Amino acid sequence: MTRILLADDHAVVRQGLKQILIESLPGTKFGEASSGEEALRKAQTDTWDLVVLDISLPGKSGLEVLKELRGAQPKLPVLVLSMHPEEQFAVRALRAGAAGYVTKRTAAKDLAAAVKKVLGGGRFVSASLAERLAAEIQVGHGQVPHERLSDREYQVFRMLASGKTVKAVGEELSLTPQTVSTHRSRILEKMRMTTNAELTQYAIQGGLLG
C-alpha cells in the first residue's frame, strides 16, 4: 500500500490533493499535516513513501522542513507543491533536496504524473524549469551574462534597460504583461541581477543600447 503525507496548512487543498491522487493511485493511504512541525513529527513517527510539501507553511517554512527531512530521512522523497512560480523557489527547493517541484496551478493529470514519477524513484521538473536548470549549468563557462539569454529574452532585456515599462514592452511585442514579466524574471535570474536599474547600468556599460 502506498502511503503519502500531505503537508499543507489549508484543509481544502489537502482534500483536493487526496481526490486527485486517489483516482490515479487507488488504495493509497494519506496522512495530513497543517504545519511544518507537524509534518516533521509525522514523517519521523510513521513510514511514508512520499511527502507532498507546501513551501508556505506556518512556523517552519517548507524549505526548512525539506532540509530537515532530507537530513533525517534522506531516502524519503519530497515533492514540493507551491503557490509560488517556479522562478521564485524551484531551484532553491531542488538544491535543498526536493525530488520535484510543481505549482498549484498544475493540471490534475500533470500533478498525478509528477507524484507517480517521484514514487517510482525519478525526479520531476517541468520543461521550463529543466531549461532554467540547463542554463544554470552553463553559468561560468565563458559566457557573459547577456549571452545566457534567449533571442526573445535579449529583446525584452534591451527594451527594459532602455526604460520602457512592462506594459509598453508588451504592447510593442504583442505580448501580455504577464508574459513580459515572466521574461523579466528569467532575465534577472540568468544575469544574476535584481532590478531594472541594474539591467540599465549593465546595458550602458556594455554598449548594448546603441
Q: What is the domain range of residue 161?
A: 139-205
Residues 83 and 145 placed together within one structural domain of the fold: no
Question: Is the pLDDT reported for residue 187 higher than 90?
Answer: yes
In a domain, 169, yes or no: yes
Question: Is the pLDDT reported for residue 140 higher than 70?
Answer: no
- Cα(186)–Cα(179) distance, rounded to whole angstroms? 11
Residues 144 and 95 placed together within one structural domain of the fold: no
Q: What is the pLDDT of residue 194?
A: 92
Residue 53 pairs with which residues in a beta bridge?
A: 7, 80
Residues 147 and 193 placed together within one structural domain of the fold: yes
CB 3 within 8 A of CB 31: yes
Query: Edge-to-edge strands of the sheet including 78-82?
Result: 29-33, 3-7, 50-54, 78-82, 100-103
Task: Show which of 79, 99, 126 is a domain's final residue.
Answer: 126
**Cα radius of gyration (the chain):** 20
Question: What's the whole-number average pLDDT of the chain?
Answer: 88
Confidence (pTM): 0.64
In a domain, 24, yes or no: yes
pLDDT digits (tens, 9 = 90+) for 141-181: 556 788 788 878 888 998 999 999 999 999 988 889 999 99
pLDDT digits (tens, 9 = 90+) for 29-67: 999 999 999 999 999 999 999 999 998 787 777 888 998
- Residue 57 φ/ψ, nearest 5 degrees: -115, 150
Question: Is the pLDDT reported for residue 101 higher than 90?
Answer: yes
Q: What is the pLDDT of residue 144?
A: 74
In a domain, 134, yes or no: no
Q: What is the pLDDT of residue 139?
A: 54
Percent of the chain with pLDDT over 90: 60
We report the CATH number of the domain holding residue 38 as 3.40.50.2300
C-alpha cell at 12: 481544502
Question: Is the pLDDT reported for residue 136 higher than 70?
Answer: no
Question: Among the listed ranges 6-15, 65-74, 91-100, which one has the minimum average pLDDT value?
Answer: 91-100
In a domain, 49, yes or no: yes
pLDDT band at residue 210 using 50, 70 and 90 as cut-offs: low
Cβ neighbourhood burial of 102 (10 Å; 0-12, 13-18, 19+): buried
Residue 29 pairs with which residues in a beta bridge?
A: 3
Rounded average pLDDT over 122-143: 72
Q: What is the pLDDT of residue 85?
A: 65
* Domain total in the chain: 2
Q: What is the pLDDT of residue 121?
A: 94
